[in-house]
Chains A and B, each alone.
Chain A
Amino acid sequence: MATATVKPVRLNLVEGEAQAQSPTQRVIKRFVRHRAAMFGLVVLIGVLAYIIVGSFIFTEAQANYNDTSIRLQAPSAEHPFGTDRIGRDILARTIYGGQISLMIGFLAVVVEVGLGTAVGAIAGYYGGWIDAILMRITEAMLSIPSLLLLLVMAKFFAGKFAPIPFFGRTLSGSVIIIILILGLTSWMSLARIVRSNVLSIKETEFVLAAKALGVPNWRIIINHILPNTLASIIVSLTLGVATAILTEAYVSFLGLGVQSPTASWGNMLTEAQEFTVIKNAPWYWFFPSLLILLTVLSINFVGDGLRDAFDPRSDNKV
């Protein structure tokens, strides 16, 4: 006969209730047990540290300082990651480029999550013809191959945004463009997930009770429904950042992403595309690629861990 291992429930004799763990604590505990996710978290923190601390060690002026006589030099003591085509230090550029890539990843996901949650929640909650129209629009956008839509939108917005000042740096307008188009082409799947979550929560008792009490709709959505879809949103958000960083690299590769002189990991790879560089200056593409890989990989691990952590059935898996 198999003995089931049951977690002992500690009885708090003074208060007379079982001291169970709160849902958040359970989630965190499951996450911590997930080895890959912890590894990912550590690497991610490392990358963030690299970027943040790095920007105190190197000023942006240093990242942009060019000296064509030392162009395409291999890694050395002075330039640990080597120099680029006009003699700028690649280490410094990956730091500032990383700020841009991560910022793009994060903000694009904010757009995605904002749009997706809003559309999904409204469609699911109100139902009827609002739901029908919103869902048809969602399906329509899903029918178009995303990369092709991205390219069309990139061409559409190209050159329409002026450079923007941002915390003392001047960023090319193409940064806004890429954030917009990444967000606008990825909100659809989240909208569907949120909608189905909302549909199932809508009929629960506490929502019906809130309605009966006359709580306004928007309050119900924000205070009651959304918190219960949080799991999907968080997982989506995390994985979305990884996808956004990768997609930025693609779009920059095709020439429509972040434009110089603003550096991003993606457009550093585009600059490195020339055959001469691929053959003779592997450091030019090695370091940005490594950083993209590490960042995206660790985010994927963390996202995977979060997904497992939010899934109560994963308690049974050792």
Chain B
Amino acid sequence: MKRRLLLVLTLMLALSLVVAPTLAQDRKVVTVSYTQEPLTLNPLYVTQWFATNVIDMLLTPPWFIDDKQQAVPVQVTEIPSVENGGISEDGTVITLKLRDDLKWSDGEPLTSADYVFTYEMIMADGNTVSSRDPWETKVASVTAPDATTVVITFNESFAPWLTALFTASPAMPEHTLRPIFDAEGTLDAAEWNKTVNPGSGSFILNEWETGSFLSLVPNENSFAGTPKLNEVFFRILADDGTSQNAALTTGDADIGVFLTAGDAVELEGAGLVISQVASGYNEGWYLNVNPDTAHPAMLDVNVRKALVMAFNRQQIVDDLLFGKTRVATSYWDGSQYVRPDAKPYDYNPEEAAAMLDAAGWVDSNGDGTRDKDGTELVLRFIASQRQIRKDVQAVVQQAFAEIGVGVETSNYDNFFDTYGEGGPMSTGQYDIGEYSGSSQFPDPNTADFLCSEIPSDENPEGANWIGYCNEELDALFQEQLKTTDPAARVALFQQIDQIIFDEAVWVGVWYDADLWATNARVIDAKYSGADPFWNAVNWDVSS
């Protein structure tokens, strides 16, 4: 009996092994490998990258930021500007002119009322939304004078409006959600959060099996054109460095995201196309200059420059990152806001040693480490638990030992905790901190260098962890925040960038663009750092 059962099972298995690979159907399906499952599909509740990507395909914002970091109108007829009256003279009123053919996937028209409803939902107390920024503090009102016009009034001129208005929270269907909100008092548990039906994107959600996959199919009622594909399939894999690559190599997945440099080399060898997608991130050294917490040597700009010049960043890029990126020149590397002719500091250990000598740090007691006034030059170099950073720390420790600078390395799980939470960076328990940071991409604004953001007991959420206070820089930052003219803003940031470079308080290690792999059979996929799948409607596959 047992033997017969075994025989039957073996036969079944053998049969399925033979049959399975030959049954390829003729549908145009692109499979995306995801290493995290979207938590929910309601944009109000989630900022998770894996979720917002899918949401972008199901709910359209007023405009997308494309792969060249330019705004492309989607629901609006044109991008608001001072010339077309979309932005008022003083910059406090922004008017969105919607297309008149917008509709939801169930056929209902999409109007400005949906935009006002969305604003209401963000501000409603019953909803545990992930963020009310900038609505709560910067926006005075959102009104809809007619069906295709939305007027947003700010308290004062707000430069980052392009990346903050209805892009993270696209318009949601009032006709479906208002009844739910009125009945339950909250949208937290709405069924719509799992289905986004009706939606406004070029795709609709066909099926979502938790832990396993999401399947998106074309929206027949899409106002933005019908997709060429029959299905986009998101396969949820483990975040372990191997499963995704195995799937991409064997063709079980067509698109893979957030590859390491080693993966990229491997996959390129297997015939996949590797793209670098700028997402605003640059791996950098944050040098502590807070006189209360930093090593006294750190307060001297020449010491900081010497440290940078003793750090062979090109070697890190070549050896640890397989040459798959380059040394970062600026906090804003990868965008238009970088200072002109930006170049990183040279690698010159001899000059670094000379600069340290000139600054008074010499090895007077012969113990191998420089010192001055009785203090040894031993610096604390901290990072998170990521392997690549630990590797960099080991390399730097050895390199610095050769010029007489001692380095103590530490790695933290709670690396990004705020001052109030006792995080190592925010409380200044370091001299060199390395991590990959970004501005409020695609907007260049950041709070990392403002005097008012230095963490303290009175300000436990402060974001200026390097403790840098420069009034000239502060003034420039205040000004750019109110400058709605794009060209003027770029000029201001270039000045900002120059100061930061000259002061060597932030030093670029490598340009941390996201690495994506695409199977050669996928055509016309252009990835944007801000809205990665913005042109999914145009994707196609070759047969």
Contacts and interface: CB of A to CB of B under 8 A. Distances in A.
- Asked if A and B touch directly (CB within 8 angstroms), the answer is yes
Interface of A: 64-66, 68-69, 71, 85-88, 158-159, 163, 255, 259-261, 271, 273-280
B385 interface: yes
Contacts of A255: 385
A274 B413 contact: no
Interface in B377-398: 385, 387, 390-391, 393-395, 398
Contacts of B391: 66, 85-86
Given A158-B413, A276-B262, A69 B241 contact: no
A41 to B, nearest CB: 36
A85 B320 contact: yes
Contact of B390 (A69, A260, A279): A260
8 contacts: A64-B394, A85-B320, A85-B391, A158-B413, A275-B241, A275-B246, A275-B263, A276-B245
Given A86-B320, A271-B387, A66 B240 contact: no
Contact of A259 (B260, B385, B394): B385
A90 B266 CA distance: 22
Contact of A260 (B263, B316, B319, B411): B411
The listed residue with most A CB atoms (<10 A of its CB), out of B390, B394, B412, is B394
Contact of A274 (B262, B385, B409, B412): B262
A123 to B, nearest CB: 37
Contacts of A86: 319-320, 391, 394-395
Nearest to A278: B242
Contacts of B249: 275
B141 interface: no
Nearest to B424: A159
B315 A159 contact: no
A236 to B, nearest CB: 33
B241 A274 contact: yes
Contacts of A71: 319-320
Nearest to A254: B240
A273 to B, nearest CB: 5
B263 A276 contact: yes
Interface in B180-195: none
A274 to B, nearest CB: 5
B411 A259 contact: yes
B265 interface: yes
A55 to B, nearest CB: 20
A276 B515 CA distance: 15
A261 B262 contact: no
A66 B398 contact: yes
Contact of A273 (B241, B409, B412): B241
Interface in B389-423: 390-391, 393-395, 398, 409-414
Interface string B245-265: 110010000000000101101
A274 B240 CA distance: 8
A187 B18 CA distance: 49
A163 B391 CA distance: 18
A68 B245 contact: no
Given A66-B395, A86-B319, 15 more contacts: A68-B315, A68-B316, A69-B319, A85-B320, A86-B320, A159-B412, A159-B413, A163-B410, A255-B385, A260-B390, A261-B394, A261-B409, A275-B249, A276-B262, A279-B266
A277 to B, nearest CB: 7
The listed residue with most B CB atoms (<10 A of its CB), out of A85, A87, A158, A271, is A85
Contacts of B316: 68
A260 B412 contact: no
Nearest to A275: B245
* Chain A binding surface, main DSSP class: loop
A274 B315 contact: no
Contacts of B265: 276
The listed residue with most B CB atoms (<10 A of its CB), out of A158, A163, A260, is A260
A68 B399 CA distance: 11
A271 B262 CA distance: 12
B412 to A, nearest CB: 6
Nearest to A276: B262
A68 B320 contact: yes
A7 B324 CA distance: 75
Contacts of B262: 274-277
Nearest to B387: A271
Nearest to A162: B410
A273 B242 contact: yes
Given A68-B316, A274-B260, A276-B263, A260 B387 contact: yes
A255 B390 CA distance: 14
The listed residue with most A CB atoms (<10 A of its CB), out of B242, B319, B385, is B319
Contacts of A158: 413
Contacts of A280: 266
Nearest to B415: A159
Given A69-B319, A71-B319, A274 B411 contact: no
Interface string B262-301: 1101100000000000000000000000000000000000
Interface string B311-328: 000011001100000000
Interface string B214-233: 00000000000000000000
B284 to A, nearest CB: 20
A64 B265 CA distance: 26
Contacts of B260: 274
A23 to B, nearest CB: 45
A274 B390 contact: no
Contacts of A163: 410
A209 B25 CA distance: 84
Contacts of B398: 65-66
Nearest to B243: A275
Contact of B394 (A66, A159, A275, A279): A66
Contacts of B409: 261
Contacts of B413: 158-159
B341 to A, nearest CB: 29
A261 B390 contact: yes
Contacts of A88: 394
Contacts of A65: 398
B414 A159 contact: yes
A259 B263 CA distance: 23
Nearest to B417: A159
Contacts of A64: 394
Contact of B266 (A68, A85, A87, A276): A276
Contacts of A85: 320, 387, 391
Q: Lowest 6 A-B CB distances belong to which pairs?
A: A68-B319, A275-B245, A276-B262, A159-B413, A260-B390, A276-B266
A259 B410 CA distance: 10
B395 A68 contact: yes
B266 A275 contact: yes
B368 to A, nearest CB: 13
A58 B382 CA distance: 28
Nearest to A66: B394
A271 B387 CA distance: 8
B410 to A, nearest CB: 7
A274 B242 CA distance: 6
Contacts of B241: 273-275
A200 to B, nearest CB: 41
A68 B397 CA distance: 13
Contacts of A271: 387
A271 B385 CA distance: 12
The listed residue with most A CB atoms (<10 A of its CB), out of B241, B246, B391, B409, is B391
A274 B241 CA distance: 5
A289 to B, nearest CB: 15
Nearest to A270: B387
The listed residue with most B CB atoms (<10 A of its CB), out of A158, A271, A274, is A274
A88 B391 CA distance: 11
Contacts of B263: 274-276
Nearest to B265: A276
